[in-house]
Structure 1
Amino acid sequence: MQKEELMLQKKLIELSRLSYQRGIVTYSDFLNLNELNILHTMPKTELYTTYKVFGGYDFSERQMVAFLPDAFCYEYFYPISVLKIRPLQKKFSEALSHRDYLGAVLNLGIERSKIGDILVQEDSAILFVHQSLEQFIQDELKRIRHTSVMAEPENFEKFSYTPQIEEKKGTVSSLRLDSLLALAFSSSRTKLVPYIENGKVFVNGKLITSNGYQIKQDDIISVRGLGRFQYKEMLSQTKRGRYLVTIHLYI
């Protein structure tokens, strides 16, 4: 086990212990897919409490963990703020990518673990960030590349986001992971197998390294460098024994 993985496990165990001993909800920073996989595969006996994960909206990739003490039934709120970043003058703005927004925020000296997902829209972006940094980013983020910008807070309790999806239908020989990847990304199974073997594929936040892993209805598959999709349903079976299925690609 790598040193970084051990350190993360110790940190998560300590947060769980604090929650149990003090009877309070404790929170981690934002965890990436690899870190969430470490959490999900830890033996439950090592944790003192149950936990929930959330990143600010349904299907978020980077998520915080909330450790919940026994019989905890009160309302609790993740320390997440939502900021909308937009150009000061739209007609003078340039097209900005995810990398541009992320780079500008990190250049303020903010740690990556304090930043959740960044949702790039047509002429703006939605940034999920640790609550403690909301005002700092509003005060300091003034320019991205050559574009002057401003960051405005959204009402987190009222905020909702539905990812844009592209529905795709096609036939596969089985509901194996490699077959569905080939359909989703319009490629061959041979070209996509290395993504699985090299630890770049996650199903519902868990790292999967088996090509033959069986996908179930509503599973969300994330592939580093390619994107995400959800397996929705099997519509029918062809005379040749192939399956006609529907998937939703997140775009």
Structure 2
Amino acid sequence: MEVMDEKLAMARIRDLFRAAEKKGDYAASNFLTPLEQEMVFDISREFPEVKFFFEGGYKEAERKILVTYPEYVEGRPFVAPVKALRVKVREEDAFPGHRDFLGSILGLGISREKIGDVLVKKGEAIVIVKEEIIEFLGLNLNKVKNFDVETEEITLKEIIAPEKTYKEVKGTVASLRLDAVASLAFGVSRSKMAPYIKGENVRVNFKIISDPSHEVKEGDIISATRMGRAKVEKIGGESKKGRIYVTIHRFTG
């Protein structure tokens, strides 16, 4: 998992709001993580005359750029600097994964914040990028995991996001503590999950939580290093023994 300096991230977001104020025009960031996007809403209150929106290339994007602008320029033509590149493996029976595509891109010296979502399907990937690097990436990305690849720029309208697949897990927990719910979600014992959480290996809504007693709520996204990601889909009533019914979607794709 990425390590984020929250103070630095907040400073960069503030700088973008200030840039829009100073220039009297649109200003765009690099790609922000979901947690950084959450920070924007609080910071925006400090700049009441500056508006903003996010753009990730497609509706369900996880990583998005932030665009800020003074209220008085609203309606002025502006195209967010986000592009899409299709990367296709030449060999028919080669199916690199997300890590392979992303690793090959970063191996070219490109910063992670210049790359948005990487949408992988059988034998290819659609990579969302900042406009400034698409030409470099298209010219220099020739291999992914030792497989030859070909690239082509596509329009954002051509992006088809793969459907998220999940396994539904239903069960009961003694409480809504993070260690109890994560234990059910990932199929490990609570005694193993608690120290795993204390070791800062688990995030709730993309923020590291190191307290096993942290209470989760319906809709929370729980991410665990090397275990995966799950959503608390539904919290129901109590069983006769006082345990709480929980429905979890553990993502498999």
Normalised to the residue count of structure 2, the TM-score between the two structures is 0.79
CA contact (8 A) 2:126 2:159 kept: no
CA contact (8 A) 1:36 1:205 kept: no
C-alpha spacing 1:221/1:76, structure 2 compared with 1 (3 Å): farther
CA contact (8 A) 2:58 2:156 kept: no
CA contact (8 A) 1:230 1:249 kept: yes
Offset, 1:210: 2.9
Alignment of 1:70-219 (within 5 A): 70=71, 74=75, 78-91=80-93, 93=94, 95-161=95-161, 162-219=163-220
1:64-90 Cα distance to aligned partner (Å, 9 max, x none): 333354487648654322222221231
Question: C-alpha distance in 2, partners of 1:229/1:223?
Answer: 9
Secondary structure of the 1:240 match is: coil
Question: C-alpha distance in 2, partners of 1:204/1:77?
Answer: 30
Question: C-alpha distance in 2, partners of 1:96/1:212?
Answer: 38
Secondary structure of the 1:118 match is: strand
Offset, 1:47: 5.4
Equivalenced residue count is 246
Offset, 1:5: 4.8
Secondary structure of the 2:156 match is: coil
C-alpha spacing 1:204/1:19, structure 2 compared with 1 (3 Å): farther
1:11-34 Cα distance to aligned partner (Å, 9 max, x none): 221111112344433222123467
Secondary structure of the 1:30 match is: strand
- Residue 26 of structure 1 aligns with which residue? 27
Aligned residues: CA RMSD: 3.2
Secondary structure of the 2:31 match is: coil
C-alpha spacing 1:65/1:227, structure 2 compared with 1 (3 Å): farther
Question: What letter corresponds to residue 113 of structure 1 in structure 2?
Answer: E
1:82-123 Cα distance to aligned partner (Å, 9 max, x none): 2222212314x3x42333212211222212221123233232
Question: C-alpha distance in 2, partners of 1:42/1:223?
Answer: 26
CA contact (8 A) 2:35 2:205 kept: no
Secondary structure of the 1:216 match is: coil
CA contact (8 A) 1:36 1:206 kept: no
* Unpaired runs of at least 5, structure 1: none
Offset, 1:42: 6.6
Question: What letter corresponds to residue 215 of structure 1 in structure 2?
Answer: V
Question: C-alpha distance in 2, partners of 1:208/1:237?
Answer: 26
Offset, 1:127: 1.7
C-alpha spacing 1:26/1:123, structure 2 compared with 1 (3 Å): same
Question: What letter corresponds to residue 214 of structure 1 in structure 2?
Answer: E
Normalised to the residue count of structure 1, the TM-score between the two structures is 0.79
